[in-house]
Amino acid sequence: MNTQKIIIASAITLGLMGGAAIAQPVAGTAVLGGTATEVQAIASGWSLKDSVLGKTVKNDADESVGKVEDVILAPDGTVSFAILSVGGFLGMGSHDVAIPVKNFRVTDGNITLPGATKDALKDLPKFEYAKK
């Protein structure tokens, strides 16, 4: 895994932890949140919500090929897949597909999926969340 992918995965993980990091100790014994220093560092860091979710994904030809709908964590806590909404027009007729995070490139805040085409992504199996 190259350095850029590690930085992206770490940043996504920090973005996911941001909301939980401000929790305070409960009943004086269990520490549930981060320290004041950790919270301050996270607050000035990178936000998954602001930097990834809902963002357009382009291919290396600068064509829009989808939109990031979700990020999936593997059971071990690592960022594993991004869920993209692909196909359709103005949200109608689109479906979700799962793309490994390692396939993305982030440059100057732009998310690209090299080699992707709209047709190739539409042909991928539809992603559906497990029923609870």
pLDDT given at position 58 = 95
Contact 35, 82 (CB under 8 A): no
Provide the pLDDT for residue 55.
Answer: 94
Burial of 106 (0-12, 13-18, 19+ CB in 10 A): middle
Choose the weakest-confidence range: 14-28, 37-51, 91-105.
Answer: 14-28
Q: Any residues with CB less than 8 A from the CB of 17 and at least 6 apart, and which?
A: 42
pLDDT classification of 32: cutoffs 50, 70, 90: low
User: Average of pLDDT values for 41-54?
Assistant: 76
**Mean local confidence (pLDDT), 14-31:** 47
* Average predicted confidence (pLDDT) for the chain: 77
pTM comes to 0.66
* Superfamily per CATH, domain 3-122: PRC-barrel domain (2.30.30.240)
Read off the pLDDT of each residue in 90-112 and give the average, rounded to a whole number: 87
